Amino acid sequence: MLRIGAVSYLNTRPLVYGLRERLEGLGSLTLDLPSRLADDLANGDLDVALIPSIEYLRGTGAQIVSDAVIACRGPVWSVRLLSRVPIANIRRLALDEGSRTSAALVRLLLADQYDLHPETIPLPMETDPESVDADAVLLIGDRAMPPPTGVYQEIWDLGDRWCQWSGHPFVFAMWIAREGIDAQPLAKILAAARDEGVQNLESIAQQEAGSHGLTSNDLHHYFTDNLHFRLGPQERQGLHIYQQRASELGLISQAREFHFCSAS
């Protein structure tokens, strides 16, 4: 039985639509923060997980299982930098505990656009972003989506910033299998779950809206206009650009070759 982990945020709902039922007899599914999923995969506590793309680039896991991903081709909404000072004046940056891909992305963008390398501190999930002693905070996932309650001079949507800077989509998370796992049977299941989820975005939005303080129209817009769920040629190119620049900045040790367990 495969031990499979997926991100607990709203952005994953279309990828895991009906997945538990599809996994019957093959594996179990657990949900957690992306950073914790990466640690569990690296430690061997999970066999396949939807992990931050930066963690795969850093060497976690052996292969990309499916072309089902969490990506964007413009504004992503759920990954935002909120700055209390002009961006160029950021000296201390609080990074969302759940984030690794976006934590590297914001450092990359600040370095390339402002030659900034601020001190970083963690922002735990239970901590109110308004209470943290920092010039700016990076929020990801569900808690990044409501309107901010504090006073901020600048707000960046990191998906939008990346796409404008690179001219390519950005891939936040991918299904990755650890070494020694035959994930071939899982590849079609993950793609099928994604395809069914994309066909039912309106239904998913209606189911999830009330519990997150967002309207079904808000969520339907998020799923259809802000997110992209397929790893295509442009997404791969975006990953290569991200990997190259992250390597140049020392955010990853060295570039790695992408390995796929199936055509994707």
Mean pLDDT to the nearest integer, 246-255:
91
Calpha distance 140→70 (Å, rounded):
13
Q: Supply the mean pLDDT for the chain.
A: 94
Report the C-alpha gap between 175 and 165 in whole angstroms: 26
Among candidates 98, 105, 96, 102, which has minimal Cα distance to 32? 98
Residue 104 confidence (pLDDT):
96
Q: What is the pLDDT of residue 98?
A: 87
Residue 213 has pLDDT above 80, yes or no: no
Q: How far apart are CA 129 and CA 103, in angstroms?
A: 15
pTM for this entry = 0.95
Pairing status of strand 48-52 against strand 2-7: parallel
Quote the percentage of the chain above a pLDDT of 90.
84
pLDDT at res. 262: 56
Say whether pLDDT at 263 is over 70: no
Kindly list the distances between the CA atom of residue 232 and the CA atoms of 80, 96, 169, 213, in Å, as whole numbers in the listed order: 24, 28, 10, 33
SS3 call for 38: helix
Q: Which domains does the chain have, with CATH numbers?
A: 2-73+170-248 (3.40.190.10), 79-166 (3.40.190.10)
Residue 255 has pLDDT above 90, yes or no: no
Question: What's the CA gap between 230 and 115, in Å, rounded?
Answer: 32
Strands 79-83 and 228-230: unpaired
Q: Rounded CA gap, 160 and 99, in Å?
A: 17
Pull the structure tokens for residue 134.
């920092």
Q: What number is the average pLDDT over the span 69-75? A: 98
> Whole-angstrom Cα distance, residue 52 to residue 33?
10
Predicted local confidence at residue 150, as pLDDT: 83
Whether 240 and 166 have beta carbons less than 8 Å apart is answered as no
Paired strand residues for 49: 5, 176
